[in-house]
Structure 1
């Protein structure tokens, strides 16, 4: 089961706990490992070809990030993203990105704007390929380009990176609920236009809609859908 979700282990050298955590994190946030899936230490040891130490280290790391949970008599499970958590996390992300986007609006750094337009093209390519993974990777890269280039505080960047694994899980859940995948590119084009407009009110309005309001609305619709 693990090989079908993580890829062939022959491609990996014997990894340390950090590398095991990286592989598992990517599989979780991309949806190859689903909420509720059990992560058995014995299976992970066999798949990665390591002792129990690196496996336990990786699971503790992922637990500290909130993307796995430990359950009595069941071991470690992939955690779910709840509406309550989204209502807590998204305002934090909004504050961090508002500061970075405002700085970009003031400087209109052409290198950053060029990078954002390239990420939008990558989102469009992903939509054309009907690839949710490609869309989500370009989506994150778009926001990362702004945060890394325009945040004035290293602490803000660290906090943004800390919450992003959970946000990436949210991306994976909600991207299929957009009217079309190409709509994701349009949303990011609107953000660039708001930056270039020079209107701080317009920028803050579009960021709030993109980062907080729309994901909450989509998640509420998903929770209310039959069979959830």
Structure 2
């Protein structure tokens, strides 16, 4: 894990951000033990904020704690991923149908900007940047007033599979396909066609799930 010391004023949030980045970048792989002392040294913090960050990641499902052994990056099976994606489908359809009529010009601009950032990241083969832009793209479509609880659950589901989403985007072919999928989703948003939007979002999600289940244990 590369050093990410932040100097004075470092808090558990810095440790949390650093651990998330390490999981996405593949520096911490699914099933790998997280050595708290090493993380603290690399991030330039004490063990206490690292422990606090790991507890937060445990609540999100990104790490698991094993008594007398410590924390490990969550290792999902295909069945786990299928359940999570099924839950996402239900919640995201609900949120998208409610959000679409509320999307104004500013919201559309944010969606378009995220789509462009995602495409630019693909051109640079920058997986971490693509993941960040991809998340902005989808959440800009889904977020709308009055959906606080639904969005909290959707965010939790996304967080719990971030390491696997990074594995999906390691494929150049899938990175390019994601850009095309975003173009189709954006077209549906511009048309204000809820049924088409849901169909394109489902197709995008289902393709990722198919790719991932091929490389995961059952």
**Band the TM-score falls in, shorter-chain normalisation:** 0.7 to 0.9
| 2:83 pairs with 1:103 | no
The aligned runs of 1:153-192 (5 Å cut-off) are 153-177=147-171, 179-192=173-186
User: Which of 83, 86, 89 matches 2:84?
Assistant: 89
Report the counterpart of residue 60 of structure 1 in structure 2: 55
Rounded Cα–Cα distance in structure 2 between residues aligned with 1:205 and 1:79: 30
TM-score by length of 2: 0.86
| 2:202 pairs with 1:208 | yes
| 2:23 pairs with 1:23 | no
For residues 11-34 of structure 1, the C-alpha deviation after alignment (integer angstroms, 9 at most, x for no partner) is: 343533343223212221332221
For residues 175-200 of structure 1, the C-alpha deviation after alignment (integer angstroms, 9 at most, x for no partner) is: 12362522211101101112233443
Report the counterpart of residue 121 of structure 2 in structure 1: 126
After superposing the two structures, state which structure 1 stretch, 139-148 or 87-96, moved more. 87-96
Rounded Cα–Cα distance in structure 1 between residues aligned with 2:58 and 2:26: 17
For residues 32-66 of structure 1, the C-alpha deviation after alignment (integer angstroms, 9 at most, x for no partner) is: 22122222233234334544433322222222211
CA contact (8 A) 1:123 1:134 kept: yes
Residues matched between the structures, number: 217
CA RMSD of aligned residues (A): 2.3
Q: 1:195 to 1:45 in 2, by over 3 A?
A: closer
Report the counterpart of residue 215 of structure 2 in structure 1: 222
After superposing the two structures, state which structure 1 stretch, 116-125 or 87-96, moved more. 87-96
For residues 138-193 of structure 1, the C-alpha deviation after alignment (integer angstroms, 9 at most, x for no partner) is: 11110121233x25321112222222212322210111236252221110110111
CA contact (8 A) 1:45 1:51 kept: yes
CA contact (8 A) 1:29 1:166 kept: no
Rounded Cα–Cα distance in structure 2 between residues aligned with 1:8 and 1:202: 43
TM-score by length of 1: 0.83
Q: 1:119 to 1:17 in 2, by over 3 A?
A: closer
Task: Give structure 1 stretches of 5+ with no counterpart.
Answer: none
CA contact (8 A) 1:132 1:172 kept: yes
